[in-house]
Structure 1
Amino acid sequence: MEEVHDDDIDKVFLQIQKELQRIKPEVKRRGEEPSGWSEFYGPGFALKIPGGFEEIGKEKAASVFFSKNRPEMILVNSHEHAGLTFQTARLENGKTIIDLEAERERIRRILKQADGKNVFYDQGNVSGTIPALWFDYKSFAADERVYNMMFLFLAEGKLIIGTFYCIFKDYDRWKPKILTMLGTIQTEEEEHERIQS
């Protein structure tokens, strides 16, 4: 690894990313998630989430997200200073097929234009029952750096846009867990079939 100084956190982050890619985290098959994970049901999908996340109501959501345009579903892990959000995007003219890669790039462009301080790092695909595309970036909130992983997938004709966020210094502990989580996404119908069998 190349020598870096304490004030060059982005360079350190990119070097760690290269190491993580070299190691390639395994996407675990359904049922092999770490103990303590729980099932979460969204509109048309189900997935396993790491332990400690709880869905919050509108009042608490207002204290987490100051904008009135809040995600539909917000889960927080207050002990770990982390959260998950899920939002259903409307598809134009009843489209059921969408180019997820083009949509991912469109969202990245919007985020770059919205805040030029955002630093974008990596992107990838997770092949599970339902494929998911993701990218990660660093944003800034008050005096804290925030790690974000945004992900997209299709579930029963709906585009689901999700985000994981945590304090930036904790990203290396969370990133493999969230990639594992993305590998567990199923449609609600598939989940019901799994339970009945």
Structure 2
Amino acid sequence: MNTRLIVSASLAAMLSACYVGGPRAYTRGTYEDPNTIEMLSDEFNENDLQLIAKKMAESLSNSPRFAQTDPQRLPIVLVGKLKNSTSEHIDMRSLGDKIQTALAQTGRFALVDQQARWDIAEEYEYQGSGYVDPNQAKGPGQQVSVDFIMTGDLASIIQEVGNDKLVYYKMTAKLNNVRNGLIEWTDEKQIRKKFERRAVGW
């Protein structure tokens, strides 16, 4: 058989294979329940975030210190800095927002948003610039004082032996009394996941 003919046939076969099994794009999708547990990788995922937020909100609202609160004078809480001590890039802002939302849904706390404070401060400056009717302008000095600040730290331990991998997360949260600095409540949420390395075939 002609060598040139063999090369041409081989090239055509390769091009055909590339066309059939070449690059693909995600073109069709479906909505999923955000509470569905599905681990596609060994990294921190949205289910871990939800588990942590739920645990902290339930633990805090059911603690003896806050089990009985006056509906007319709810404890004012600010979810402050949550530290990421893991080796992963984790959106701690989203984790803080999730905890804040879970606390608000208990109905036992009044919440102050840290980022909103800075936005409000900028608005005070604008309203005092002369562009706003002085009789309607808002200014500093009327905001509520926060009673408690929540801080936290997310740490992890990773163990790999052979084809097995264990990933352990521990989120520790503390509620600090702004007046005297005392820790009024603290708790932790532990998450342990096991993965098995398997060969991926084509």
- When the two structures are superposed, what TM-score results if normalisation uses the length of structure 2? 0.26
Q: Which has the larger radius of gyration?
A: 2
Task: Select the structure that is richer in strand.
Answer: 1
